[in-house]
Structures are given as structure tokens and as C-alpha cells.
């Protein structure tokens, strides 16, 4: 028997939009080299590996790998994992998904055709001065630069400025940290804010839709807009919608997902 693997487009209800993630179901533990090789072979921004916990009653152990490295937190591959568990019948339609991860226990629930994730809030603090090379790598004058646990967050004055970004990734690789979130207010009344996410140090020049970045963007924009419930659009080539709701030190991230491929690893 092969190892079941599916590919899910997350933060979208339309195939070939949103952010694709592979979800691999493991019956036995695999070593880190094997996990990294599979992620490199899949060549998606994230591959998620799921395995029932040892007592088989407390959910799943979940790990996330880019083609280059393991990461501590990933939103879209967690959403894809929950979607895959329900779609394959491993979880009942009304049962919550429980994931044990490097970032603690994360949960997911179905809310009609949306999936709501319970993630940690990751507020940022001003980065004064900004790290050397960041601004020149982005090629835009920011209105604000901050630093969260994993990423830098750069606010620019308009959506037009954000859409026009053409980063120099060779320079951006010299900036320490997981990645860079660039954000602005939305020019459309449909959304409250827009963003893009760059992580060349982890093998992802531009991520299509980044759930964990919205753990930063939720408190960032809630403070500026005076509301705890917001809708963001990640303005990559594929694009995707993320709803956020602040609850104390947590962020509820909501998105949709669609399976586009099913197969087996031999």
C-alpha cells in the first residue's frame, strides 16, 4: 500500500486559486530527512504531515515543511489538513480537528462552507531602525516597519504601491527572519486590508496566501481600524481571502478549501 497524499488549494473555493498545500497521511513515524525530501518533491510552499497521536484519541501530530526547511507555524497547510481529514472521512463532519504542533495545540472547526482555525495572535513591535537592506530590497518607502515573532511587517501607503512591488530577492535573502509581510488598506470596500508575503530564506519568493501572516495582520489592523473582525485579501497572482477575528490572545482565521489532486507516494 502506498502513502496517501492529497493536494488542497486553501483560502479559496476555486481550484488553482488560493495557496496549494500537500497533505500526507502517515501510519508510522518518518525521519526528518524523508519528510524534507517529500516536501522538496512536492515543491509547494508547504507540505503537511499528519499522524494520529500515540493514544489515537487526542487528534493528530502535524508538521509543516517548505521545500527548504521545517517551519513552526503554517495557516494554509493547517486549513488544508482539516479539510482533508473531513473529506476523507477520517473525522466526522461535525467533529473538530485537533493538531499538536511546534506552536502548541491548534484546532479547526467547520462553519458551513468555511473552516475556522484557532491560532495564536502574533502582535508586532516597531522595528526602529528597520533591518539593513530591507527597504532597498523591497524598493518602496514604508509608512511603518515592525517585527513579530517570525516576520517583519511593512506598511505602505496604498494598495497601488503594494501591487507594484517587485522585490529584489537576492537582497531580501540577506534579511534575517522567516519572511516579510507587506500590507496596506484595501482600495476595495469588499476587504479591510490587503497584503503580500515574501519568504525567500525558506524557499518561497512569494507565498500565495499566508495564514500565519494574518496572525500578525489581525492585531495590526484591528488596532488601526478599531474593529476585531476583519477581512483580508492576499494580493498574490493566485489570490486568496482570509477572515480574521481577535479573541484575547488568539486569532480565529477563516477560509475555504478545495481538493485538486489525490494520489499515493510509493
CB atoms within 10 A of CB 151: 23
Q: CB within 8 A of 79, min separation 6: which ones?
A: 10, 11, 108, 115, 117, 211, 253, 255, 257
Q: Would you state the cell numbers that stand for residue 46, as one nine-digit string? A: 508547504
DSSP-derived 3-state class of residue 7: strand
Cα–Cα distance list, 129 to 126, 143, 216 (Å) = 8, 13, 19
| CB 146, CB 182: distance < 8 Å | no
Distance in angstroms (rounded) separating the CA atoms of residues 56 and 65: 23
- Helices and strands (DSSP H and E) totals, the chain: 6, 18
- The one catalytic residue among 4, 27, 46, 155: 46
Distance in angstroms (rounded) separating the CA atoms of residues 266 and 257: 26
CB atoms within 10 A of CB 261: 12
Distance in angstroms (rounded) separating the CA atoms of residues 87 and 184: 35
Q: Would you state the cell numbers that stand for residue 262, as one nine-digit string? A: 489525490
Q: Does 29 qualify as catalytic in the annotation? A: no
Positions annotated as catalytic residues are: 46
Amino acid at each position: 500500500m502506498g502513502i496517501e497524499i492529497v493536494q488542497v488549494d486553501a483560502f479559496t473555493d476555486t481550484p488553482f486559486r488560493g495557496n496549494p498545500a500537500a497533505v500526507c497521511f502517515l501510519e508510522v513515524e518518518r525521519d526528518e530527512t524523508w519528510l524534507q525530501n517529500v516536501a522538496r518533491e512536492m515543491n509547494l510552499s508547504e507540505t503537511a504531515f499528519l499522524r494520529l497521536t500515540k493514544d489515537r484519541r487526542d487528534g493528530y501530530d502535524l508538521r509543516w515543511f517548505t521545500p527548504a526547511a521545517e517551519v513552526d507555524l503554517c495557516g494554509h497547510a493547517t486549513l488544508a489538513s482539516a479539510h482533508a481529514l473531513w473529506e476523507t472521512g477520517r473525522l466526522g463532519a461535525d467533529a473538530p480537528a485537533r493538531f499538536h504542533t511546534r506552536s502548541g495545540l491548534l484546532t479547526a472547526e467547520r462553519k458551513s462552507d468555511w473552516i475556522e482555525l484557532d491560532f495564536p495572535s502574533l502582535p508586532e513591535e516597531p522595528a526602529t531602525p528597520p533591518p539593513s537592506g530591507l527597504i532597498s530590497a523591497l524598493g518602496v518607502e514604508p509608512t511603518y516597519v515592525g517585527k513579530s515573532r517570525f516576520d517583519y511587517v511593512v506598511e505602505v501607503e496604498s494598495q497601488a504601491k503594494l501591487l507594484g512591488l517587485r522585490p529584489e530577492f537576492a537582497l531580501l535573502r540577506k534579511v534575517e527572519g522567516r519572511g516579510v509581510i507587506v500590507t496596506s488598506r484595501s482600495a476595495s470596500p469588499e476587504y479591510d486590508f490587503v497584503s503580500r508575503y515574501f519568504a525567500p530564506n525558506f524557499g518561497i519568493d512569494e507565498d500565495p496566501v499566508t495564514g500565519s501572516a494574518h496572525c500578525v495582520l489581525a492585531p495590526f489592523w484591528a488596532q488601526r481600524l478599531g474593529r476585531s473582525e476583519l477581512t483580508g485579501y492576499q494580493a498574490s497572482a493566485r489570490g486568496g481571502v482570509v477572515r480574521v477575528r481577535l479573541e484575547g490572545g488568539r486569532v480565529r482565521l477563516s477560509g475555504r478549501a478545495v481538493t485538486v489532486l489525490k494520489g499515493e507516494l510509493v
